[in-house]
Structure 1
Amino acid sequence: MKTNNNIPAYRFQGYTDAWELRKLGELAEIVRGASPRPIQDPKWFDEQSEIGWLRISDVTEQDGRIYHLEQKISELGQQKTRVLVEPHLLLSIAATVGKPVVNYVKTGVHDGFLIFLEPRFEQEFMFQWLEMFRSSWSKYGQPGSQVNLNSDLVKNQELSIPSLPEQEAIGTFFSTLDKHITLHQRKLDTLKEQKKTYLKLLFPAKGQTKPALRFQGFEDDWEEVKLSAVISKEIKGKAKSEMQGSSEVYLETEYLNGGTKSFVDCEKDVEEDDILILWDGSQAGMVYHGFSGALGSTLKAYRPKESGKFIYYQLVSQQNLIFKKYRTPNIPQVIKTFTDEFQIFYTSLPEQEAIGTFFQTLDQEIAQVEDKLASLKEMKKTLLRKLFVS
């Protein structure tokens, strides 16, 4: 545990020495990248070149660890920039200000980056320290303006730094944790892509009578019907002030999207199998399922005649169509004749239940991975504070 200001709250076993206060400029030669001008001129670029061109957008897309670059810089362009042929640590000073970057490929470096040359630190340790310190660069910005980092500000920034072996231990720990985070992020991305694919394949395409992919044992044609034909009741939401009755959860879009519960003295009018739709607002047309309580004034609910999960997931598969075709043009609001105009495909109840359960299970798996990913990211935030001297 931390006993003074020169050691972190948490330490790996075997390390007891106090950390040393240094300036970043004492630990590396910090120089700025360079960009050929005008940057739009095609003569600076060559698809056949083995030297990539690192841009701010690459940092965002690859979250600070650069393993590939699509754009290549020409021999002429290389004369106008700084070319790196070995892995280097960089710091973004434009757009995503203060974002640390480890570049693993041969590249020319945009003038929106600072480069740490001849480092006298363990690279992964410093990458993680800069990640921890990132929000603190805001102290150099004026209220309401963008932070402006230059090489002198960065060079003069002080930090506490341990011995090289302890730097390596900390860097290795966070590198391993980052790999776990990346694996969970990839798993989440894969599951979400799988869901998109299944939403296309398990419901018929327009003009078809059968889906491209079916569960075993189902062969009959599907029927195309109006949404109004498969719901038994439409429930309109109310303002909190209009509610009377027993205490129930008040279903608002904030709660449906993961916010905190709101309780009011009101009657429960929505059951878990009902399909909810946001009736007005910028996201009018968004559909929800699996909630019960009192319905808020910006929402409507449809009570299904058979499987609500099946109807809900078919609406999800057509979510973009609802946004584009079934809202009023000025103030976003679902059209009043939505249920009489919107067409869905309908099949036997056993097939409805099989499809609904499949997607529900897939959503549960997605939620579990999301929770684990959020937990790992929160753990990293905590450990960045505890394993470094702030």
Structure 2
Amino acid sequence: MNKTPAVRFIGFAEDWEQRKFGDIVQTRRGLTYKPTDIEESGIRVLRSSNIDEDTFVYGVDDVFVNPYAVNIEPVRKNDILITSANGSSRLVGKHALIKKISDGSAVHGGFMLLGRTKNYDFVNASMSSSWYTKFINVFAAGGNGAIGNLNKNDLDEQIILIPDDAEQIKIGEYFAALDNLITLHQRKYEKLKNIKKSMLYKMFPKNGSNVPEIRFKGFTDAWEQRKFGDIVQTRRGLTYKPTDIEESGIRVLRSSNIDEDTFVYGVDDVFVNPYAVNIEPVRKNDILITSANGSSRLVGKHALIKKISDGSAVHGGFMLLGRTKNYDFVNASMSSSWYTKFINVFAAGGNGAIGNLNKNDLDEQIILIPDDAEQIKIGEYFAALDNLITLHHRKLKKLEQIKQAMLHKMFV
């Protein structure tokens, strides 16, 4: 068995040693309480919802109990919160280091475990490495409707490899700093998304109004009604046969090429023989729209195609394409309230049916638009905001990829 990681800090060369998890981490079961113990305030009970990915958070639906119902020790800063049981088996075993908590203010609930240890940053990082993933896959029972469960004794008895204290501290400090960077970029990313959501609400007219709440200086005229199809040329996509698919050729853009509201290339993109293509290729600044999908909530999602080589791609049969002069404005408008309401009414689906958006319904939809000059200003604003959001999202993804790579290389 290999007992050294692939990447180490300078000065460390000794083999890592085997230990039982329970010998280095004190694990404790959580509080069992009755519905009558719940109050509006009191002692907070930490649950699975207090772990967002691998970060500890307070939740809007946190539960509080009467202090007299608490018969276990409160959690402390730097304890590790672990989900031990959950109706969703994939959530069993998720964990987070409790970074901010007031003394005596909270306990962990009955479906949770708590880990307390000296080198908490190292242990928490270790629990994101391969040994823990394999352990959870083997020991966390569940599936077929059963509640997933992680047994405290199984975790305590698990054999892991650890270095001496000095190396544990260095590794822990590294991953703590990396987690802080990830959290920082996550917050910036979420803040920018919230700004965009707010400005979409304020910079487009609300129901019954023909002017928005916020406008650029110099614009005062009322917005005018237009059919969507009068300002946007929409086109249906390519229908192709399985025999048309090749390893390379013309890329067929699908719903998977829209990540939230950003155009992306995908690892599972489909290519077809050029001779199978009988529609016009997509162009830069076309708007890609999902018109049909097995998941109804994805119907109507859209993205502006920012980077594409001429003639290299077409849109698929379950997609629509929009082409318009003021594309940044129209794309932003399609993230505002009129479009959300339109999709909720006109995109059929549910109960197992494929969700569907009809081209004619979209073309006939009445929307409000300002003159060209104001469209351009609004479009430029949201394009700049989208660029900032994309920048922080890329930084966030890069940091997450670095973390995953280093978890693989810095643990045995």
How far apart in 2 are the matches of 1:335 and 1:174?
A: 49
More deviation in 287-296 or 94-103?
Answer: 287-296
Matches within 5 A, 1:206-285: 206-231=207-232, 233-241=233-241, 248-257=250-259, 258=264, 259-260=266-267, 261-264=269-272, 265=274, 266=277, 268-281=280-293, 282=296, 283-285=298-300
Secondary structure of the residue aligned to 1:198 is helix
Contact 1:273 1:308 in 2 (8 A): yes
> CA offset at residue 9 of structure 1?
1.4
2:92 to 64, 73, 97: 97
Structure 2 counterpart of 1:122: 119
Change in 2 beyond 3 A, CA 1:54/1:142? closer
How far apart in 1 are the matches of 2:38 and 2:237?
A: 57
> CA offset at residue 194 of structure 1?
0.8
Secondary structure of the residue aligned to 2:63 is coil
> CA offset at residue 323 of structure 1?
2.0
How big is each residue's C-alpha offset from its partner over 1:300-330, in whole Å with a ceiling of 9 and x where there is no partner? 22332x3122222112213421221122366
Change in 2 beyond 3 A, CA 1:339/1:320? closer
Change in 2 beyond 3 A, CA 1:307/1:74? same
Structure 2 counterpart of 1:59: 51
- One-letter code aligned to 1:57: S
Contact 2:31 2:70 in 1 (8 A): no
Structure 2 counterpart of 1:201: 202
Structure 1 counterpart of 2:410: 387
Structure 1 counterpart of 2:138: 139
How big is each residue's C-alpha offset from its partner over 1:350-373, in whole Å with a ceiling of 9 and x where there is no partner? 221221122122112211111111
How far apart in 1 are the matches of 2:74 and 2:362?
A: 60
Contact 1:286 1:319 in 2 (8 A): no
2:397 to 352, 370, 374: 374
Structure 2 counterpart of 1:187: 188
How far apart in 2 are the matches of 1:53 and 1:66?
A: 12
How far apart in 2 are the matches of 1:339 and 1:31?
A: 57
- One-letter code aligned to 2:179: D
Number of residue pairs aligned between Structure 1 and Structure 2? 373
Change in 2 beyond 3 A, CA 1:207/1:138? same
Secondary structure of the residue aligned to 1:72 is strand
Secondary structure of the residue aligned to 2:320 is strand
Matches within 5 A, 1:12-31: 12-31=9-28
- One-letter code aligned to 2:255: T
Are 1:360 and 2:379 an aligned pair? no
> CA offset at residue 82 of structure 1?
4.2
> CA offset at residue 68 of structure 1?
7.9
Judging by fraction of residues, say which structure has more strand.
Answer: 2
> CA offset at residue 67 of structure 1?
6.5
How far apart in 1 are the matches of 2:127 and 2:95?
A: 6
How far apart in 2 are the matches of 1:56 and 1:252?
A: 35
Secondary structure of the residue aligned to 1:316 is coil
How far apart in 1 are the matches of 2:162 and 2:225?
A: 67
How far apart in 1 are the matches of 2:177 and 2:234?
A: 52
How big is each residue's C-alpha offset from its partner over 1:74-111, in whole Å with a ceiling of 9 and x where there is no partner? 122113x4433554234321122222233343322212
Report sequence identity in percent: 27
Change in 2 beyond 3 A, CA 1:108/1:268? same
Change in 2 beyond 3 A, CA 1:271/1:172? same
> CA offset at residue 190 of structure 1?
0.6
How big is each residue's C-alpha offset from its partner over 1:111-168, in whole Å with a ceiling of 9 and x where there is no partner? 2222335x3x411111111122442211125695665321221111111111112111
> CA offset at residue 222 of structure 1?
1.4
How far apart in 1 are the matches of 2:25 and 2:375?
A: 63
1:286 to 294, 297, 301: 301
> CA offset at residue 185 of structure 1?
0.2
Structure 2-normalised TM-score?
Answer: 0.81
How big is each residue's C-alpha offset from its partner over 1:11-56, in whole Å with a ceiling of 9 and x where there is no partner? 11222222221111222333322312x3x22xx234443x321112
The structure with more radius of gyration:
1
Q: RMSD across aligned C-alpha pairs, in angstroms?
A: 2.8
How big is each residue's C-alpha offset from its partner over 1:176-209, in whole Å with a ceiling of 9 and x where there is no partner? 1000000000010011111111111221222222
Change in 2 beyond 3 A, CA 1:326/1:72? same
